[in-house]
Amino acid sequence: MKPINHHLNDTLLMGYATGNLPEAFNLVVATHISLCDECRARMHSFDAIGGALVDRAESAVLDKGSLAATMALIADDTWQAPVMEHPAQPGVFPAPLRDYAGGDLDNVKWRRVGGGVSQAILKTSGKATVRLLKIPGGVAVPDHGHSGMELTLVLQGAFRDETDRFGAGDIEVADDDMVHTPVAEPGQDCICLAATDAPLRFSGFLPRMAQKVMRI
Amino acid sequence: MFTATDTFSNADALAFRPSYDGGKRAAARVKAKGKVSVTDTAKRIEWTAQLAAVRDRQDQAAFAEIFSHFAPRVKAFLMKSGSSPSFAEECTQEVMATLWRKSHMFDGTKASVSTWIFTIARNRKIDMIRKDRRPEPEDLPWGPEAEPDQADVLALTEETELLGRALATLPEKQRNLIERAYFGDLSHSEIAAETGLPLGTIKSRIRLALDRLRHAMS
């Protein structure tokens, strides 16, 4: 595993553990955790709070024959537990992202959005949105502010903004008072997974026009 | 103060294997009456043993014991999250059936049985109530050659026990906030992640187990 310097914060990890994040954020969190054992361990510790709560919860009265009905469910071979399995595979995208992108990096259908930047919007439910971004080395993403929270996870290459450098596996969590201009480092294309729970605010007139077209 | 020495000596910890011995352990519990910490930890370790009995031998008696403790709590959890009693009942049966079917996936170095049941119930809740997909992290490469270390399982069991106690002693207002977050009526912007709970030690235990796993796999 590569060294990761920028991690998920506790609010996101707890939101993920409690099931209170929008699907688009869940995808970014699950993808980062796939790359980061530190955050995986932190996630499990937030899950442990849920375990302690369930263990100490008061009991509800079960229906008569509840255990027998459960055993019948288990005996029914046609019934499948609705839980996804996620084996690791070689490539750029961790398993949860593959499910949404329809494969690895090579399978992404990019759409150019100007300035050399390309994107692919991934389908999720709810108000928050998530997209893959491809930024050629040395190219900047337009200066933008946020009215909500934005998560940007680097999958390949690296970018810098006013705050720091972000390499593969690093996640930047930007809130509503941050205005930043991420610039991809020279060299390899920078591939990011970015989610927002509100539209971005671009600083200039032209980017605002572009925003309507780009849906960002 | 609850420490490892109050419950099991290190030798006991190393000798522990998740084997289910039916009534014998229950008898030991009766003898230990009055020493609550011994009883609680023994019980939690038993859940691991009972789950192993379900996994290895499809042991219905062991499953029935897990069911009678956890199913009423899972149902209460789902009802607190806003489900009707009949819908919560249906989901509870599915959660417990999933526990059986996925027992081979259980890893006691990363979660206690109660934690694992919570995650299954939470995922079911998201699936059925919110109709959302929930992306899950990539599975770690467990192989048959990398059986979880039982000392790690025991250590995590004890940390989880401590966490439960800390939760019980939190000021009511703070505990309510945590319950509301976990029972699902707080949005992520309302969540106060500063819980006042000792998560650092649990995290370190799991991190250590993950490091060992990575090392074994490399």
Put simply, whether B9 touches A (Cβ < 8 Å) is no
Check A11 against B68: CB less than 8 A apart: no
What's residue A197's pLDDT? 86
Check B164 against A96: CB less than 8 A apart: no
Check A87 against B178: CB less than 8 A apart: no
For the ranges A71-80, B24-33, B36-45, the lowest mean pLDDT is seen at B24-33
pLDDT category at B23 given cuts 50, 70, 90 is very low
Q: Number of structural domains, chain A?
A: 1
Q: Which residues on chain A are in Cβ contact (under 8 Å) with B130?
A: 19
Query: Hey, which residues 33-52 in chain A have their CB within 8 Å of chain B?
Result: 33-34, 37-38, 40-52
CB A130 within 8 A of CB A122: yes
Write the CATH number for A82. Answer: 2.60.120.10
Chain A interface disruption, residue of B51, B115, B207, B211, most A CBs within 10 A: B115
Put simply, whether B89 touches A (Cβ < 8 Å) is yes
Q: What's the domain range around A119? A: 1-216
Chains A, B: CB contacts under 8 A, how many? 229
Nearest residue to A128 via CA among A148, A113, A144, A112: A148
Is residue B26's pLDDT more than 60? Answer: no
Looking at chain B, the whole-number percentage of residues with pLDDT higher than 90 is 25
Q: Which residue of B has its CA nearest to A74?
A: B97
- Smallest CA–CA distance, residue A127 to chain B, in Å, is 12
Q: Which CATH number fits domain B4-217: 1.10.10.10, 3.40.50.170, 3.20.20.140, 1.10.1740.10?
A: 1.10.1740.10
The pLDDT tens digits of the residues spanning A71-121 come to: 999 998 665 655 546 777 788 999 999 999 999 999 999 999 888 899 999
Structure tokens at A96: 């949860």
CB B92 within 8 A of CB B71: yes
The pLDDT tens digits of the residues spanning B139-174 come to: 876 554 456 777 888 888 888 888 989 998 988 888
Structure tokens at A54: 């369930």
Strand partners, A119: A111, A133
Check A86 against B136: CB less than 8 A apart: yes
- Rounded to a whole number, what is the largest CA-CA distance in chain B? 49
CB B138 within 8 A of CB A96: yes
CB A79 within 8 A of CB B97: yes
Check A86 against B137: CB less than 8 A apart: yes
Distance (Å) of CA A46 to CA A100, A112, A163, B40, B135: 25, 39, 28, 21, 17
Nearest residue to A216 via CA among A126, A203, A206, A201: A201
What is the DSSP track for B134-164? ---PPPP---TT-PPPHHHHHHHHHHHHHHH
Check B72 against A62: CB less than 8 A apart: yes
The pLDDT tens digits of the residues spanning B189-198 come to: 777 777 778 8
Q: Is the dihedral of CA A43, A48, A51, A52 positive or negative?
A: negative
In chain B, what are the domain boundaries?
4-217
Q: What angle do CA A138, A141, A146 make, to 5 degrees?
A: 150
Query: Across all residues in chain A, what is the average pLDDT?
Result: 86
The pLDDT tens digits of the residues spanning B100-111 come to: 998 888 888 888
What's residue B14's pLDDT? 37
Query: Hey, which residues 108-147 in chain B have their CB within 8 Å of chain A?
Result: 110-112, 114-127, 130-141
Taking the model in full, what pTM does it have? 0.83
Nearest residue to B53 via CA among B42, B64, B68: B64
Put simply, whether B6 touches A (Cβ < 8 Å) is no
Q: Which residues on chain A are in Cβ contact (under 8 Å) with B195?
A: 14, 49
Q: A119: helix, coil or strand?
A: strand
Check A62 against B75: CB less than 8 A apart: yes
CB A31 within 8 A of CB A192: no
Q: A136: helix, coil or strand?
A: coil
Is residue B20's pLDDT more than 70? Answer: no
Element (H, E) at B105: none
Query: Hey, which residues 156-215 in chain A have their CB within 8 Å of chain B?
Result: none
One-letter amino acid for residue A97 of the chain: L
Structure tokens at A87: 């084996």
pLDDT category at B9 given cuts 50, 70, 90 is very low
- Smallest CA–CA distance, residue B136 to chain A, in Å, is 5
